[in-house]
Amino acid sequence: MRCITVIQPWATLIAIGEKKFETRSWKIAYHGELAIHAGKKIDKKVCRLEPFRSVLAKHGYNEDNLPTGAIIAVCRLEECWSVSRSADSKILLNSDRPAFAKETSIGKQEEIFGDYSDGRFAWELSEVQRLPEPVPATGRQGLWTWEALI
């Protein structure tokens, strides 16, 4: 199964269904099943900021109990959108696949949970399923394959 390592708290925000897009500096052509790996790093400062703190707390998490070094969810990578901003600073998401081109309003919370700077990419995630127990795994940079989930 294809995997992506995400640092905390963003990995858990995906796993609990509060973050629908993972923003990256690089484009991906892959679409399909994707495992979310929580890296070993936790940005504890971000965990104390709103809305991160209250969203995590709503699901029973805080900076001290976030899983690390493990696969924590599986989902589908639906589309890789290029990010730009309109003249009025509205976020625009566009795809190389014309049928998918759209302008969207992603909501303030989603915008806070990602980096939607011009030139970045937003990976649209769907069908997110948090695993009942984290599965220990060593992460890697980029998109990688974990043989145990194939």
Is the pTM of the predicted complex or chain greater than 0.85? yes
Q: Is residue 84 part of a domain?
A: no
What residues form DSSP beta bridges with 121?
Answer: 24, 82
Alpha carbon distances (Å) from 101 to 27, 38, 82, 86: 15, 30, 10, 15
- Strand segments, DSSP code E, in the chain are 2-8, 21-24, 32-42, 70-85, 91-94, 102-103, 121-136, 143-145
Q: Is residue 101 part of a domain?
A: no
Q: Is residue 83 part of a domain?
A: no
Residue 144 sits in which domain range? 2-78+124-149
Q: Is residue 91 part of a domain?
A: no
How far apart CA 102 and CA 129 sit, in angstroms, is 26
State both tokens at 47.
Answer: 């965990």
What is the pLDDT tens value at each position of the chain, 150 positions in all? 999 999 999 999 999 999 999 999 999 989 999 999 999 999 999 999 999 999 999 999 999 999 999 999 999 999 888 888 878 877 877 777 766 666 655 788 999 999 999 899 999 999 999 999 999 999 999 899 987 644
In this structure, which amino acid lies at residue 46?
A: V
Q: Is residue 100 part of a domain?
A: no
Domain count within the chain: 1
CATH number at residue 10: 2.30.130.30
Q: Is residue 44 part of a domain?
A: yes
Q: Is residue 23 part of a domain?
A: yes
How far apart CA 120 and CA 83 sit, in angstroms, is 5
